[in-house]
Amino acid sequence: MKETKFGVMTHYLQDWLSQTENLTIDVEKWNELVDHFDTDRLAESVKATGAGYLIFTIGQNSGYYVSPNKVYDRLSGRDTSRCAKRDLIADLGNSLHKLGLKFIVYLPSGAPARDDKAKTNLQWKNGPYPNIEFQQKWEQIISEWSMRWGNKVDGWWFDGCYWPNIMYRSENIPNFKSFAGAARAGNPNSALGFNGGVIPRLLSLTPYEDYTAGEESRPELLSIIRSQEGTVDGRQIHVLSYLGQKWGMGLPRYSNEEAISFSKVLLDAGGAITWDVPIQSNGQIYPAFLSQLTVIGKVVAEYKQRNK
């Protein structure tokens, strides 16, 4: 992030695609979509924008995931797996790495909110609870994926770490240390970020992360208090926001000039900006957003050239 300064994120999710493309996506349809996802073309599109990395969703609230995980299937108690048969993460990692790009995967820190069976079997309670039993299971699931992917994945962005004191800061495991250990099981050099929610001031949640998750819905309100160039409390400055009307959906909400202005704030702070854009079920980013990302990428490239 410190070197590339600019990345792209997409939310490839069963329930979001159902909404944006008016599709009925059951397990069979989900596997069909994942099977036909062109990872090389997406990687080439990201490369063409000038971005240095991609953040991509493993899954979220629907309980549909883009990679197999036998531990998840066993612990969630599902007879029919909602994990794709194709390992889209492994294939996408290969495609990105061929072009010299880095790859970060996204995963919530809680059970899928709209899968009652999985929530029950994983023993998840939404709210300020220790969730010890759940976290022990979740770390097994994360470790299974991490070991499967190895160096194909360069980092993780964990969403929903809303109660860090209660869930993760205990001296006893499970805690931030064991959470990070599970994510790094297959690649000890994975860069991690834990998201505590939308906070206008950039903060680091734990010494076990490498960069600020930096979720910002309104980047114009961002406040950065640096401890030294490029870092907040010893961790790489990073912000994640979206170019659409909301996360993963809608038309561009900013002009090119506005998006560039917000991006420059991060560049001037020695940080990195990741822009989320909508993605189609065939795995391609919508053209209007590719154009805007390319404009941002040119500005970032010029900035890096001037500051060599």
Phi, psi of 274 (to 5 degrees): -115, 125
For residue 8, the surrounding DSSP H or E stretch is strand 6-10
Q: How many CB atoms lie within 10 A of CB 272?
A: 27
Give the torsion sign (CA, 245, 91, 104, 186): positive
Percent pLDDT > 70 in the chain is 100
Domains, the chain, ranges and CATH? Answer: 6-306 (3.20.20.80)
Please state, as a whole number, how many other Cβ atoms lie within 10 Å of the Cβ of residue 126: 12
> Residue 274's Cα: distance from chain center in Å?
10
Residue pLDDT, tens place only, 249-272? 999 999 999 999 999 999 999 999
Give the end-to-end CA distance of the chain in Å, rounded to a whole number.
16
Say yes or no to pLDDT of 229 above 90.
Answer: no
Residues 6+ apart with CB under 8 A from 168: 161, 174, 175, 176, 179, 194, 206
Give yes or no for residue 239 having a pLDDT over 90. Answer: yes
CB 46 within 8 Å of CB 98: no
Rg, C-alpha atoms of the chain: 18
Instruction: Report the alpha-carbon distance of residue 161 to residue 213 in Å, rounded.
Output: 10
- Helix H or strand E encompassing 257: helix 256-268
pLDDT at 228 over 90: no
Query: How confident is the model over 98-157, as pLDDT tens digits?
Result: 999 999 999 999 999 999 999 999 999 999 999 999 999 999 999 999 999 999 999 999
